[in-house]
């Protein structure tokens, strides 16, 4: 969109946000909620009616705590800040963006104070994305992860894949192979479609309409293919929600962390596995005439781990340290302990400490993500929570239905998909995310399964 129109777009978005806020906080809605809360519909807390009432009340109460002025200003500044971030990133000019970052975090503090919190401000913002999660719980979980992952990253730092797959993979053949794999996993073409886009993503349009946008690279098969599996995980969750409850909390995904668990599970725990490629590697060899690379060599290449600067390009071993860094920094920015002008130094110091690498520019450092410019503070932790949940869910599913890799090798993904549908998808927002994980796996959110999985596959023990 034209850069010169950003101020006008900001005003338009502010108006729309204000109008939406008016509808969401209509006193009549509060009266109706009070009526149904006093009725027998709110009895069994796990019933469809009680869940819907509870979640609608939660949303209503959070929204009514926010003044319209603040809602409008958040929307307006987000538009302006995102434009400033884009230009600063293109020009590698962090000082030009710093004032917008200050303004964004000032508004975030105001939002947190309006909503209210029992612990720290960050709790109020985190609750937007992962209801019920607290900063204290996250800090403990992330500290455990950091303690285990830093030495694991050091151990893989010098590893190099034995085979180079940097060769031509025709884009149309990649697309056919990847889409075939996604449908084999269970993605329904009767209820969705594939398209090409500049960045992979999954969009839920409505019941029976889930769309996946894909991107392929001519000389990097793994990047495009693993992204397809990632988005397929998101899509399977959306296709697994009960369409009878569309438009209500019981027909919606419970949190970003749970949603991310579905994409990470299919991308990493399924798509990188030996069983998966026992089934698909012969088809891969036929599709791309790759006869000089064994399956084991191929897997070593696509599972190669090494520290890098860019979060979205990170492997599964190093990825969570990128998130830990962002978690620590955005808490410091929100509390005022860290000033925006000091962000590049703090960023570079943490990258050096945790990943052993120093950004060569702010473009490849603290300007690489759009999230803060859009006011998405508290969002980043859900990526790692998704990895934690995914490992727990995979272990629990295997306990329940038997050796999953044996099924994958036979081309059968229905047992895992069915288990996830029964334990996650069909419940909508019936349970808080942490409760859902505990009911499905028998334990509260815990990084132990993720650490054990990564250590087994990358630590030389498997």
Q: What is the end-to-end Cα distance of the chain in Å, rounded?
A: 50
The answer to whether 366 and 309 are in contact (CB under 8 A) is no
The answer to whether 237 and 259 are in contact (CB under 8 A) is yes
The answer to whether 269 and 413 are in contact (CB under 8 A) is no
| pLDDT value of position 459 | 83
Q: Per residue in 413-425, pLDDT tens?
A: 999 999 999 999 9
If pLDDT is split at 50, 70 and 90, which confidence band does 460 have? low
What tokens appear for 449 in the block? 């399964």
What tokens appear for 208 in the block? 């029976």
- Helix intervals (H) in 266-318: 274-288, 295-302
Q: Per residue in 346-399, pLDDT tens?
A: 999 999 999 999 999 999 999 999 999 999 999 999 999 999 999 999 999 999
Which residues lie below 8 Å from residue 81, measured CB to CB, with a gap of 6+?
Answer: 97, 100, 101, 103, 104, 373, 374, 375
| pLDDT value of position 379 | 97
| pLDDT value of position 461 | 41
Provide the annotated active-site residues. Answer: 231
What tokens appear for 413 in the block? 């993904």
What backbone phi and psi angles, to 5 degrees, belong to 36?
-75, -30
Separation between Cα atoms, residue 196 and residue 101, nearest integer Å: 33
Residue 162 above 50 pLDDT? yes
Q: Per residue in 73-113, pLDDT tens?
A: 999 999 999 999 999 999 999 999 999 999 999 999 999 99
Separation between Cα atoms, residue 50 and residue 70, nearest integer Å: 31
| pLDDT value of position 161 | 66
| pLDDT value of position 198 | 82
Which residues lie below 8 Å from residue 103, measured CB to CB, with a gap of 6+?
Answer: 77, 81
Other Cβ atoms less than 10 A from the Cβ of 222: the count is 17
| pLDDT value of position 462 | 39
Separation between Cα atoms, residue 142 and residue 147, nearest integer Å: 8
Return the H-helix or E-strand segment holding 152. Answer: helix 135-156
Q: Per residue in 429-452, pLDDT tens?
A: 999 999 999 999 999 999 999 999
Average pLDDT, the chain: 95
Residue 187 above 60 pLDDT? yes
Helix axis angle, 381-401 to 135-156, nearest 10°: 80
User: Under DSSP, is residue 217 helix (H, G, I), strand (E, B) or coil?
Assistant: strand
Helix axis angle, 94-115 to 319-335, nearest 10°: 70
What tokens appear for 145 in the block? 């992860």
Q: Per residue in 202-255, pLDDT tens?
A: 999 999 999 999 999 999 999 999 999 999 999 999 999 999 999 999 999 999
Separation between Cα atoms, residue 215 and residue 312, nearest integer Å: 14
Separation between Cα atoms, residue 236 and residue 183, nearest integer Å: 10
Computed on alpha carbons and rounded to an integer, the radius of gyration of the chain in Å comes to 23
Helix axis angle, 135-156 to 343-355, nearest 10°: 60
User: Position of tokens 């697309």?
Assistant: 175
| pLDDT value of position 123 | 98
Residue 311 above 90 pLDDT? yes
């Amino acid at each position: 969109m034209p850069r010169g129109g950003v101020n006008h777009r900001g005003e338009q978005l502010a108006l729309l946000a204000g109008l939406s806020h008016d509808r969401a906080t209509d006193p009549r809605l509060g009266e109706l909620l009070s009526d149904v809360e006093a009725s027998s519909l709110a009895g069994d807390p796990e019933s469809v009616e009680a869940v819907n009432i509870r979640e609608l009340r939660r949303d209503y109460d959070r929204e009514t705590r926010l003044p319209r002025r603040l809602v409008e200003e958040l929307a307006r500044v987000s538009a302006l800040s995102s434009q400033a971030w884009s230009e600063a990133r293109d020009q590698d000019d962090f000082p030009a963006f710093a004032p917008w970052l200050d303004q964004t975090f000032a508004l975030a503090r105001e939002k947190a104070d309006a909503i209210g919190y029992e612990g720290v401000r960050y709790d109020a913002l985190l609750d937007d994305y992962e209801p019920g999660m607290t900063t204290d719980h996250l800090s403990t979980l992330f500290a455990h992860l950091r303690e285990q992952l830093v030495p694991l990253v050091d151990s893989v730092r010098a590893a190099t894949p034995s085979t180079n797959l940097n060769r031509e993979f025709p884009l149309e053949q990649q697309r056919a192979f990847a889409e075939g794999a996604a449908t084999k996993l269970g993605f329904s073409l009767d209820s969705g479609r594939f398209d090409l886009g500049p960045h992979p993503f999954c969009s839920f349009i409505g019941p029976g309409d889930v769309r996946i946008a894909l991107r392929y690279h001519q000389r990097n098969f793994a990047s495009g293919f693993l992204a397809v599996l990632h988005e397929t995980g998101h899509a399977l969750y959306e296709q697994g929600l009960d369409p009878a409850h569309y438009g209500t909390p019981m027909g919606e995904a419970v949190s970003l962390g749970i949603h991310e668990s579905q994409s990470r599970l299919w991308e990493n725990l399924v798509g990188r596995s030996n069983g998966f490629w026992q089934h698909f590697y012969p088809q891969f060899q036929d599709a791309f005439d790759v006869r000089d690379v064994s399956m084991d060599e191929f897997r070593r290449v696509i599972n190669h781990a090494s520290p890098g600067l860019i979060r979205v390009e990170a492997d599964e071993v190093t990825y969570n340290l990128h998130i830990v860094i962002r978690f620590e920094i955005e808490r410091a920015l929100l509390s005022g302990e860290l000033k925006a002008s000091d962000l590049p130094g703090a960023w570079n110091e943490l990258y050096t400490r945790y990943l052993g690498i120093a950004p060569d520019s702010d473009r490849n450092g603290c300007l690489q993500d759009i999230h803060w410019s859009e006011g998405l503070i508290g969002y980043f932790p859900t990526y790692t929570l998704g990895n934690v949940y995914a490992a727990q869910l995979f272990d629990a599913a295997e306990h329940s239905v038997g050796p999953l890799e044996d099924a994958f090798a036979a081309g059968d993904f229905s047992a895992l998909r069915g288990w996830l549908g029964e334990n996650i998808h069909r419940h909508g927002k019936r349970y808080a995310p942490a409760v859902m994980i505990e009911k499905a796996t028998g334990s509260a959110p815990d990084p132990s399964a993720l650490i054990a999985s990564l250590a087994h596959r990358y630590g030389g023990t498997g």
